[in-house]
């Protein structure tokens, strides 16, 4: 008889009936679970507060919480003064208006009749002509295009805002507005003013900036979900 066979009271290693050590049961679904790892600070380079804080998410109805609530402006740079915003807008308007006016004069300008009683009628006809509508369209594209391109650049500044050391930022995270937000903002600002109600629309924009709380947003800011903040270092 060979000595390779195991003793009768000791089953071989591959015996399927051999008793194996009990397996550890998997943890139940309702058992204790490890707490999630703590979240670190916002990534460095956040445009708000040097990466040390985040502003509240955009809320069209956010006008401050109840007494003792969180400050909605916490973590944001100071909002831009209205005076600086006004001067910046005047500068940007002149940057577009002056070249358009010179081009209009070189192309013939307006033909106003002042030496007869039909002068007003001729002025009205000129205003309602296809030439006037063409210039209105050109002006609209120039103003909206300028604001859209400049605001969506890496620093969120037009020429006027750069001079006044202010910039446009997304309300939710302080980033530079993308092209769609910049276009929406520019369209709401300029289309009504250039198409139908120039003076009235600017009064509306100014009043909404002065009365809005807490972010001082004009209607164009609300449309683009943006704020205008200080860019001074």
Reported as a single tens digit per residue, the pLDDT across 153-197 is: 889 999 999 999 999 999 999 999 999 999 999 999 999 998 888
Say if residues 110 and 126 touch (Cβ distance below 8 Å): yes
Residue 112 has pLDDT above 80, yes or no: no
In percent, how much of the chain has pLDDT > 90?
A: 47
Range among 17-26, 56-65, 223-232 with highest mean pLDDT value: 223-232
Say if residues 186 and 140 touch (Cβ distance below 8 Å): no
Residue 151 has pLDDT above 50, yes or no: yes
Residue 46 has pLDDT above 90, yes or no: no
Q: What is the mean pLDDT of residues 203-210?
A: 97
pLDDT category at 104 given cuts 50, 70, 90 is: confident
């Amino acid at each position: 008889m060979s000595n390779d066979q195991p003793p009768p009271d000791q089953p071989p290693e591959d015996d399927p009936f051999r008793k194996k050590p009990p397996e550890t049961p998997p943890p139940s679904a309702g058992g204790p679970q490890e707490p999630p790892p703590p979240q670190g600070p916002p990534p460095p380079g956040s445009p708000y507060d040097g990466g040390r804080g985040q502003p509240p998410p955009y809320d069209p109805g956010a006008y401050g919480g109840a007494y003792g609530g969180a400050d909605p402006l916490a973590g944001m740079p100071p909002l831009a003064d209205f005076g600086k915003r006004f001067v910046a807008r005047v500068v940007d308007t002149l940057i577009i208006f002056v070249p358009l006016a010179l081009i209009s004069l070189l192309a013939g300008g307006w033909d106003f009749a002042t030496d007869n009683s039909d002068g007003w009628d001729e002025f009205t006809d000129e205003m309602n002509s296809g030439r006037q509508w063409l210039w209105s369209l050109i002006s609209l594209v120039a103003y909206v295009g300028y604001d859209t391109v400049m605001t969506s650049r890496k620093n969120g500044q037009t020429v006027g805002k750069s001079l006044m050391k202010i910039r446009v930022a997304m309300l939710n995270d302080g980033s530079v507005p993308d092209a769609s937000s910049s276009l929406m903002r520019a369209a709401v600002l300029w289309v009504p003013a250039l198409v139908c109600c120039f003076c009235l629309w600017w009064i509306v924009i100014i009043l909404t900036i002065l009365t809005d709380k807490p972010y001082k947003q004009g209607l164009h800011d609300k449309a683009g979900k943006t704020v205008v903040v200080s860019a001074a270092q």
